């Protein structure tokens, strides 16, 4: 299923490279220190392929690997992307059902996950995903022991914890996509209310990627102006219920998209590609992503991954931003952590 060998042409495998190109006088062999960036995407479903497509258009990798359990669909997706080569930055695209193809990956993005069966409990679905991860994470760690694992499958916080446990990696090299997309939706809604560009809005959703997430209203700013402080100073009245309603729209956004088109893909594709860019290009940008949160903001009930504003770079998670939280926000964050810990306790890991 691999891409055909570079330089060969025709059924006999005639190598045309040396005949087609003549080396210049005095040329040296390519430097062995030249950086070759390799990204592996595990899971060729709607989310995995949206991520792969976005990575290709943003010229993030020299080599893109796709892995999935369905060989025919996998080959079809690989060919479809390869056929767009004339319109994209040069990237080697290969695909296989064998995890050996991921060897030497700089970043492994895991989107594979079991789908919920009608009437199935959340806990049973979680157990099935843990069983799936037992077949996914160890081979990734085996073939790419220095890679960074970026977990996208849901429930992302718990599965990031599972990936951390199964890989044996240090915590900075296991990160979940978390509330990065939730925060983008949050910024969009605030920008829409104020009629400004979403890029000028600084706003975070933290905690669980789910119903217990926490909107950090106290730290929201637009163009450098703290919103709530500004409203208070200008004696402009606002209702807490209005703020809560915006947060609820964020929580319900994915459900709405799923009800309309059957799945989410494009937004998470751009969100994960942005994380990949920050990591592989060592951008040291702040993203609200799922990290080992023990010891932050009073979260001390056990090892738990949840979203906090974290600095991302070539080493993975470089640190957590010391964002000021109100007492209410900090308590909600701890409650969110306890929600995740309660579910984790039933996994037996």
- If one compares 301 and 188, the residue with the highest pLDDT of the two is 188
Q: Is 207 helix (H, G, I), strand (E, B) or coil?
A: strand
Average pLDDT on 7-23 reads 61
- Smallest CA-to-CA distance from 269 within 26, 62, 50 is with 50
pLDDT at 147 over 60: yes
Of 121, 150, 176, the position where a domain reaches its end is 176
**What's the rounded mean pLDDT across residues 24-35?**
62
Residue stretches of the annotated binding site: 43-48, 68, 129, 152-154
36 noted as active-site residue: no
Burial class (CB in 10 A: 0-12, 13-18, 19+), 340: buried
pLDDT for residue 84: 94
* Residue pLDDT, tens place only, 58-105: 999 999 999 999 999 999 999 999 999 999 999 999 999 999 999 999
Tokens of 5: 């060998």
> Domain check: are 238 and 189 in the same one?
yes
**Closest residue by Cα to residue 64 from 137, 135, 80, 114:** 80
DSSP state of 92: E
Percent of the chain with pLDDT over 90: 62
When pLDDT is cut at 50, 70 and 90, the band that residue 237 belongs to is low
Output DSSP code: residue 173: G
Tell me how far apart the alpha carbons of residues 103 and 140 are, in angstroms, rounded to a whole number.
8
Average pLDDT (22-27) is: 62
Residue numbers of the domain that contains 335 = 179-346
Domain-embedded: residue 297:
yes
Asked which of 176, 203, 235 is the last residue of a domain, the reply is 176
H-state helical runs in the chain: 17-20, 46-57, 71-82, 122-143, 156-167, 180-194, 227-233, 240-261, 266-280, 327-344
* 138 & 170 share domain: yes
How far is residue 244's CA from residue 302's CA, in Å, rounded to a whole number? 29
Which CATH number covers residue 227?
3.90.110.10
Does residue 28 form part of some domain? Answer: no
pLDDT tens-digit profile of 31-66?
665 579 999 999 999 999 999 999 999 999 999 999
**97 and 217 part of one domain:** no
- 174-176 vs 148-151, strand pairing mode: parallel
- Of the residues 209, 247, 287, 324, only one is catalytic, namely 209
Radius of gyration of the chain (CA): 22
Mean pLDDT, residues 308-312: 93
Confidence at residue 248, expressed as pLDDT on a 0 to 100 scale: 86
Cα separation, 338 vs 45, in Å, equals 31
% of the chain residues with pLDDT over 70: 87
Binding-site annotation, residues for NAD(+): 43-48, 68, 129, 152-154
């Amino acid at each position: 299923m691999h891409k055909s060998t570079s330089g060969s042409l025709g059924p006999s495998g005639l190598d045309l490279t040396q005949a087609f190109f003549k080396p210049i006088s005095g040329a040296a062999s390519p430097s062995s220190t030249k950086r070759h960036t390799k990204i592996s995407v595990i899971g060729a479903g709607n989310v995995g392929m949206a991520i792969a497509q976005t990575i290709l258009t943003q010229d993030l990798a020299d080599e893109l690997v796709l892995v999935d359990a369905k060989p025919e669909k996998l080959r079809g997706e690989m060919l479809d992307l390869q056929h767009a080569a004339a319109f994209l930055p040069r990237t080697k695209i290969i695909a296989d059902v064998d995890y050996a193809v991921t060897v030497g990956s700089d970043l492994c993005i895991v989107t594979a996950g079991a789908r919920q069966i009608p009437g199935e409990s959340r806990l049973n679905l979680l157990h099935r995903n843990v069983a799936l991860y037992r077949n996914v994470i160890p081979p990734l760690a085996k073939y790419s022991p220095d890679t960074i694992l970026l977990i996208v499958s849901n429930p992302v916080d718990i599965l990031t914890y599972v990936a951390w446990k199964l890989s044996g990696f240090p915590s900075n090299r296991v990160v979940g996509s978390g509330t990065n997309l939730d925060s983008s939706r949050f910024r969009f809604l605030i920008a829409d209310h104020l009629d400004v560009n979403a890029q000028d809005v600084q706003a975070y959703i933290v905690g669980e990627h789910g119903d217990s997430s926490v909107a950090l209203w106290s730290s929201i700013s637009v163009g450098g102006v703290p919103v709530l402080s500004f409203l208070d100073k200008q004696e402009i009245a606002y209702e807490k219920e209005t703020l809560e309603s915006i947060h609820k729209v964020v929580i319900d956004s994915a459900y709405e998209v799923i009800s309309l088109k059957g799945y989410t893909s494009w937004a998470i594709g751009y969100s994960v590609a942005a994380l990949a860019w920050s990591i592989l290009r060592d951008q040291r940008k702040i993203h609200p992503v799922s990290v080992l949160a023990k010891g932050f903001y009073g979260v001390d009930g056990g090892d738990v991954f949840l979203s906090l504003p974290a600095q991302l770079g070539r080493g993975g998670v470089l640190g957590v931003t010391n964002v000021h939280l109100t007492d209410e926000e900090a308590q909600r964050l701890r409650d969110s952590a306890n929600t995740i810990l309660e579910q984790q306790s039933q996994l037996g890991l």
